[in-house]
Amino acid sequence: MRNIVFVIAWLWASVLGAAELEDRQMFHGEDGVTLRVLSSTDTDIFAPILEGFIARNPSVSLDYAVAGSADIVTLIAECGDCFDVVISSAMDLQLKLANDGLARRLDGLAQGGSQWRQSVFGFTLEPATVVLNRAAFEGRALPTTRQALIEALRADPEHFRGRLGTYDVRLSGLGYLFATQDARASETFWRLMEVFGNLDARLYCCSGDMIDDLASGELFVAYNVLGSYASTRPETLDKVTIITPQDFATTMMRTALVLESTAIGDEAEALVAYLTSGAWAAQDRPGFPLPSIGQAEVPGLNVVSLDPGLLVYLDRLKRALFLEAWSSALLR
């Protein structure tokens, strides 16, 4: 026990630098070991899943820490032994951790399509959506494709000026993943970003903030937001409309991996097994936000595949080129 205290103290000291934890909470089991989870998912959204796990594995307590998906990489680099399990929406960064040899092979888990190297396991399927403020679109047709959105914005630029929001891809790992995959899928992405740039779009670090501003009427349109986040809060639901683009819907998998350095591999593996089993989603919980992979899949989702291609946009030069193009479209 003394060891754990020491490690935690050390961790806090170390993360005071560039990358910071946004939140940290304990979920107590009956006794026994503590599994340290580093995640990009907000605690309130993930809590039911964690509680479900503890209910089945009462001998495990969970120490759940939240950081931005880009910060997660820094935290792992600074202290690889401070965590046991990493859960993140940035599939590319997760794949890179595994490619660089930091993730443990879990040969006990079922082999399937949504894993890589038996070390990175996808367990949700979440499309990037366009979320609209309902009042702002009163009497207007709802755009269901990117092209239609571009046309709607061009038709009435003054209405939308300063009321558009999207990820700041320089800060958000998930935003970067969505943007690069969009750019790969279609040129329309760049045209849309130019229109956003012309209309002084605001940039955000996180889906949550964008949804808050949408609900309050600050924002009319948010692009590439996780629809699952918007549907978490019933109080915002009647103020916004979530649209899954019909032309193509870039869809990410939330992935989990066990760090190679963990001392409690069995418990860590049990958590990943629970996540991939989808058992947490089977519980009857209205409004439960995260769609598990097994749940009714909407056809036509453009799911980002877990393969080494994901490493491409993490390349230093490639990233510089992409950010240059992105900045020249959005920041003028």
Partner 1 sequence: MLAVLFYLVVRTYAQQIAQQSQDRILEASLTSLMDAAVVREGAVEVDVPYAAFAMLDTAADDRVFYAVHQGEALLTGYDGLVDGPFEPAARPAFQTQAFGEAEVRVASLTQSLPASPAPVLLTVSVAQTRDSLAGTLLAISVNAALFGGAFFLLAAGMALWTSRSTVRPLSQMAEAVARRGPRDLRPVVRPVPTELSPLVTSLNSLMTRLSASLTQSETFIAEAAHRVRTPLATVRTHAEATLMRVDKDENRAALRSMIRAIDESSRAAGQLLDHAMVTFRGDQMEQRPVDLVAVCRELVDRLTPVAEMKDLVLVLVAKGPVEVQGDPILIQNAVRNLIDNALKYSPPDGAVRIEVGADPVAIVVCDEGAGFPVGQMAELSQRFQRGVNAGDTVGSGLGLTIAQDVAEAHGGRLELSNADGGGACATLYL
- What does the binding site for partner 1 look like in residue numbers (CB under 8 A)? 98-99, 101, 113, 116-118, 184-186, 247-248, 299-303, 305, 307-312, 315-318, 321
Q: Which two tokens stand for residue 228?
A: 């699952």
CB nearer partner 1, residue 70 or residue 306: 306
CB nearer partner 1, residue 50 or residue 310: 310
CB nearer partner 1, residue 113 or residue 139: 113
Burial bucket for residue 115 (CB in 10 Å: 0-12, 13-18, 19+): buried
d(CA 74, CA 19): 6
CB nearer partner 1, residue 109 or residue 237: 109
CA dihedral 255, 46, 42, 291 (to 10 degrees): 60
| 131, 241 contact by CB (below 8 A) | yes
Sequence-separated (6 or more) residues with CB below 8 Å from residue 227: 126, 127, 128, 129, 131, 242, 244
d(CA 65, CA 42): 9
CB nearer partner 1, residue 167 or residue 189: 189
| 48, 232 contact by CB (below 8 A) | no
Residue 186 Cβ vs partner 1, minimum distance, rounded to whole Å:
7
CB nearer partner 1, residue 185 or residue 237: 185
Residue 44 Cβ vs partner 1, minimum distance, rounded to whole Å:
32
Residue 120 Cβ vs partner 1, minimum distance, rounded to whole Å:
9
Tokens 């069995």, located at residue: 266
Residue 330 Cβ vs partner 1, minimum distance, rounded to whole Å:
20
Residue 331 Cβ vs partner 1, minimum distance, rounded to whole Å:
21
Residue 119 Cβ vs partner 1, minimum distance, rounded to whole Å:
8
